[in-house]
A and B are shown apart, each in its own frame.
Chain A
Amino acid sequence: MRTSPKKSFSLFFGILFLLILTAILIPPDLLKAASRQCIWEGVEKIIAIGDLHGDYDHFVTILKNEDINLVAEKDNKLHWIGGKTHLVQIGDVMDRGDKARDIFDLIKTLEKEAEKAGGQVHMLIGNHEEINILERVFEYGEDYINVEQFKSFLSESYKKRKEREFKKRTEDGGDINTEWKNLMKTDDGQREYYDNFNLYYGRWIAENHNAVIKINNTVFVHGGINEKYSAMPLQDINNLYFLEFQKWYRGESFRPKILFDQEGPLWFRYLATWDEQAYSSKVNQILANLGAKQIVIAHTPKIQDLPYRFGYKVWLVDTGISNAYRRDGGFLSALIIENGNRPDRWRLEY
């Protein structure tokens, strides 16, 4: 049976009306959040890398290593050669080291190139990204943020102005580095850092990146997942982060449900510390809720320990990759998951 032109016309405008109504009623934030993918199936090869803490050189060493082979240098630039591989950087690119900005810039490039090649680069949000976005990193002092990271996220004009000022001031003695350290303690210096960081990187992190993802039967998350969050769909967890970051950027006052939650995915530490015997049923429940075989976490440095806990169900990838952990015996590492086999840890001493 054919529909009359009059009926088709009404149907077309009816649908159009509904679409416009939907667009008006659903907040654009929610539409954007809900559209971001966080579950992938049928991925042959996954490489997961833990906390980088500003160590660009070590990150590149891992990516270029012949066993990992995800990037290669061409025309003095690094490019994706990983094909359909999924690279998961499990958060905490920032703080402790010097070159978080360089890492972000490289990840921005690799995200685009990997997608074109049929692969993916997933940079998950870590608690250190969160404390920078939420403007609280300076509260922790120089253990977290050093002069080089501070300078790297300032605007060029501000940085040059301050350089001139400090040069003049130290002509008759004094130390420029001390001047920068002092600037880091001022409201002016901190405001400039936060504004510029958030403008070019914070918003990019918050608006385009997940906190938790699932690839095949493996969940990846920076801190961990407790029972409460494991019962939520991953999309809902990521949407909650997205929406609360948006509220933060809009300057709203609100009681966050997930941001800065000690039990939240960016901070939860107990999968790395719980007694394996006493908590095995809890971990089983968490994995059952997630519909996953295993979970890969970072956040809690496990340098001397085995890379897995709870009978290969929890995998730990924070091995102190950053040079900031040299004293603790840190080493470069990546977790390789191929063709559904048990993960395999690759390591390289530095």
Chain B
Amino acid sequence: MINKEVISTLVVLSLMMIGGVNSLSLSADQGTSQQKELEIYLKNAKVADIEKGGLGGRNEPWRIFLDDGKTQRRAIFKYIDRPERRLNPVSYKREIAAYELTKLFKMEIVPPVLERKIREFTGSLQIMVEGCINENERKVRKLEPPDAEAFEKAIEEINVFDNFTFCLPDPKDILIHKDTWQVCRVDFMEAFDTLVEFLPGTTISRCSRRLYQGLKQDAKVIEAAMKPYLTAKEIKALLDRKALILDKLTGLIKEKGEDAVLFDIKS
């Protein structure tokens, strides 16, 4: 896990929230042009400098300074890959898995990340974009979003995504752009647990339409997209949680009506 307090002052891409998703046959290759552009950058830009230890945290991520000759950007590099260890299994691959899921669902809530080798380690390299504050800090500073409803929806969408990926909620992992108030979620190293249940202490009461549609996708599509990054057990649990969440949402829709449960996220 990275030191979000530091990162939140640096991070996040200018998220382009896309509206409702209709297609049920998306592929993991898809993604917006901005995502693709950043992926190419992450893949090809030269490593100009590496700062180790500056971010702190148990998984000791490195801050990477990238330069493609035109633009300098910062990125986060994580390299620990121990999904099978007895206590606190972690893997950098889960960062990529989470990003690929959001691409599949056409939700730009995770900053672009891909696998790359830096020095002796292969790991995940995730773009950092400037100008963010984390949710914890927002509360301490008592900052209110200009559009409270939109902000609440974004947080609720992250709550469902956290339940799907079994990523324990941490307000420091929710990054909010200081100017646009667009929201994203980082740090999935410890997500994708093999438990099939709702996250403790969370309640699903609403969901964005795009995530709901994404969850309704064929399990095989999700399985194929996750295969390079997750173990078979983790994929099975992910798909079982997908069914669990869909059951919950279907029940809520029956009870309260679709408009009370599903909402659109404005771009």
CA distance in complex: A134, B58 (Å): 12
Which A125-171 residues sit within 8 Å CB-CB of chain B? 127, 134, 136, 139-141, 143
Specify which of A254, A262, A282 is in contact with B1 (CB 8 Å cutoff): A262
Q: How large is the interface on B (under 10, 10 to 19, 20 to 34, 35 or more residues)?
A: 20 to 34
Q: What CA separation (Å) do A256 and B87 show in the bound complex? A: 7
Interface size on A, as a range, is 20 to 34
The distance in angstroms between the C-alpha atoms of A253 and B84, with both chains bound, is: 12
Q: Which of B87, B120, B140 contacts A282 (CB 8 A)?
A: B140
Contacts of B88 in A (CB 8 A): 256, 259-260
| Segment from A23-31, A66-74, A111-119, A272-280 that makes contact with B | A272-280
**Is A104 positioned at the interface, with any CB of B under 8 Å from its CB?**
no
Inter-chain contact count A-B, CB under 8 Å? 43
B85's partner among A136, A259, A262 (CB-CB below 8 A) is A136
Chain B 1-12 near chain A by CB (<8 Å), digits 1 or 0: 101011000000
Given contacts A269-B3, A274-B5, A278-B141, contact A262 B58 (CB under 8 A): yes
B251 interfacial by beta-carbon distance below 8 Å: no
Interface membership of chain A positions 234-263, coded 1 if the CB is closer than 8 angstroms to chain B and 0 otherwise: 000000000000001000011010011010
Which residues of A are found within 8 Å of B85, using beta-carbon distances?
Answer: 136
Contact indicator per residue, chain A 270-313, by CB within 8 Å of chain B (1) or not (0): 10011000110010000000000000000010000000000000
Structural contact, A139 and B82, CB atoms closer than 8 A? yes
Using Cβ atoms and an 8 Å threshold, which residues of chain B touch A140? 60, 80
Contact A278 B5 (CB under 8 A): no
Chain A residues with CB under 8 Å of B3's CB are 269, 273
Chain A positions within 8 Å of B120 at CB level? 141
Question: Chain A 219-247 against B: per-residue CB contact (8 Å), 1 yes, 0 no?
Answer: 00000000000000000000000000000
The answer to whether B121 and A248 have CB atoms under 8 Å apart is no
**In the complex, B57 has a CB within 8 A of chain A:** yes
B93-116 CB contact bits vs A (8 Å, 1 = yes)?
000000000000000000000000
Residues of B within 8 A of A262 (CB): 1, 57-58
| A-B interface, 7 closest residue pairs, ranked by CB to CB distance from nearest | A260-B88, A262-B1, A139-B80, A269-B56, A278-B140, A273-B5, A278-B141
